[in-house]
């Protein structure tokens, strides 16, 4: 039976609406987001195939910045150009950013939130989504003993050496092993070209702008003493220096806003706890910090300045890298390396399925039962992920915390 033809590229509006729904339902943190993205854009809508998606994830894991936000920006960029990338990023970021900005005005106490039954159900939904992504990506990308071994070694390294730079090191090691193992094996077909992409000239311009702003913004902030520019510069630098996921940005932001006295430590910790309970990207925490700042610009203007500052650097890096990645992935050596790198990505997701997702979500027989039911509905009965999230939240509220 011939494989179904891929659907036509989506419109910018469809990209925005699909990302908006993910922004409302993607609980569980950055690694869980990658599972939600695969279910939405690869399995359900078929706007990308598994190899292209895994290549994209490997690229995001190798760049500074939040991997899940860069991945959804890259999905839009690869399917509808810059307008599609921005539509995906805005849709995915908007719900959590608005909630965090609203909470920044009051910094209300969320002390009882970690024990809420609905939140426990959402964590279980994330386990099921990532488990389904690991299984599907493993069957697509680890089709021989060498790549299965690479994936398992990558998972073991992630679990035994949990340092911030480990995802990057694991992907680099997987790429080297893949190059050594497969460089003499001719790949049957070249990867399908992406419908839209950024030109090499614009990619180089984006990378140049990224570097210039990294050095010029601190100089401009120190010479003008404009607090808004200081906010923007500090958050831009924080977004540019993060490797290993959104959680790594915490100490950078703490030194940026708590030490100068822009936000006190109590409000900082309360906002970070809230960000972990919301769907969407953890970097939306920046909107909370801007809104909660003690001195102007704060409120909605401070939230906007900090949010744009922390996201501009990783989006520039992604826009600059993707055209060169699209060319590189077609060479024989790169395809060999990507076979190993994609196996490593599968291993990274496998490790994350256990730590932190499984360890923070599954504590009892009831938790395990709900996890198995959610996985069956998602993988066997093909329920959409947003419905799994809703059902798991309701079950958690009614059952898990009685």
The pLDDT score that the predictor gives to residue 268 is 80
Query: In whole angstroms, what is the distance from residue 302 CA to residue 293 CA?
Result: 7
The pLDDT score that the predictor gives to residue 266 is 72
Query: C-alpha distances in angstroms, 288 versus 69, 281, 308, 371, 381?
Result: 18, 13, 13, 32, 39
The pLDDT score that the predictor gives to residue 3 is 53
- Residue 232: which of 318, 293, 312, 292 has the closest Cα? 312
* Ordered per-residue pLDDT tens for the chain, 402 residues: 455 566 777 899 999 999 999 999 988 778 789 999 999 999 999 898 888 898 898 888 888 888 899 999 999 998 888 999 999 999 999 999 999 998 887 653 444 445 567 778 878 888 888 888 889 888 888 989 999 999 999 999 989 987 766 887 898 899 999 999 998 876 555 666 666 667 889 999 999 999 999 999 999 998 988 889 999 999 998 888 776 555 556 667 877 888 788 888 777 877 776 777 788 898 898 999 999 888 888 889 999 999 999 999 999 999 999 888 878 877 888 888 888 988 998 898 898 889 877 988 888 899 999 999 999 998 899 888 778 888 888 888 887 555
For 215, phi and psi rounded to 5 degrees? -95, -35
The pLDDT score that the predictor gives to residue 109 is 41
Domain ranges, ordered by start, for the chain:
12-104+114-183+331-400, 204-317
Angle subtended at Cα 68 by Cα 63 and Cα 72, rounded to the nearest 5 degrees: 100
Query: Do residues 21 and 95 make contact, with C-beta atoms less than 8 angstroms apart?
Result: no
Those residues whose C-beta lies under 8 Å from the C-beta of residue 153, and which sit 6 or more positions away, are 347
Those residues whose C-beta lies under 8 Å from the C-beta of residue 269, and which sit 6 or more positions away, are none
- Residue 35: which of 284, 275, 350 has the closest Cα? 350
The pLDDT score that the predictor gives to residue 270 is 72
Query: C-alpha distances in angstroms, 30 versus 5, 180, 284, 286?
Result: 31, 30, 12, 16
Query: In whole angstroms, what is the distance from residue 282 CA to residue 279 CA?
Result: 8
């Amino acid at each position: 039976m011939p494989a179904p033809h891929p659907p036509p590229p989506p419109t910018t509006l469809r990209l925005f609406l699909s990302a908006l729904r993910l922004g409302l339902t993607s609980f569980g943190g950055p690694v869980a987001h990658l599972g939600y993205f695969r279910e939405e854009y690869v399995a359900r809508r078929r706007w990308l195939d598994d190899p292209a998606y895994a290549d994209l994830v490997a690229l995001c894991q190798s760049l500074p910045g939040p991997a899940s936000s860069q991945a959804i920006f890259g999905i839009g960029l690869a399917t509808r150009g810059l307008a599609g990338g921005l539509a995906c990023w805005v849709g995915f970021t908007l719900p959590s950013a608005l909630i965090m900005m609203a909470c920044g005005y009051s910094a209300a106490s969320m002390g009882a939130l970690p024990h809420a039954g609905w939140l426990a159900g959402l964590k279980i939904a994330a386990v099921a989504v990532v488990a389904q992504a690991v299984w599907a990506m493993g069957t697509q990308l680890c089709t021989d003993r060498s790549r299965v071994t690479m994936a398992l070694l990558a998972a073991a390294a992630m679990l035994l050496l949990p340092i911030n730079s480990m995802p990057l090191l694991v992907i680099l090691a997987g790429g080297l092993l893949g190059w050594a193992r497969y460089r003499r094996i001719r790949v049957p077909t070249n990867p399908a070209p992406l419908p839209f992409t950024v030109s090499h000239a614009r990619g180089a311009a984006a990378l140049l702008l990224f570097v210039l702003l990294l050095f010029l913004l601190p100089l401009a902030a120190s010479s003008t003493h404009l607090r808004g520019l200081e906010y923007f510069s500090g958050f831009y630098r924080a977004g540019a220096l993060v490797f290993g996921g959104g959680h790594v940005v915490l100490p950078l932001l703490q030194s940026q806003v708590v030490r100068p006295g822009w936000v006190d430590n109590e409000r900082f910790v309360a906002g970070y706890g809230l960000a972990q309970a919301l769907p969407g990207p953890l970097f939306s925490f920046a909107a909370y910090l801007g809104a909660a700042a003690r001195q102007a610009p704060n409120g909605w203007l401070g939230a906007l300045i900090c949010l744009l500052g922390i996201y501009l650097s990783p989006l520039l890096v992604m826009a600059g890298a993707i055209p060169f990645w699209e060319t590189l992935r077609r060479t024989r050596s790169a395809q060999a390396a990507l076979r190993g790198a994609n196996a490593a990505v599968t291993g990274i997701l496998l490790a994350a399925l256990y730590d932190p997702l499984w360890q923070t979500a599954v504590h009892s027989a009831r938790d395990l039962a709900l996890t198995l039911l959610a996985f069956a509905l998602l993988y066997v009965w093909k329920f959409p992920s947003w419905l799994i999230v809703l059902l798991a939240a309701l079950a958690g509220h009614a059952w898990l915390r009685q």
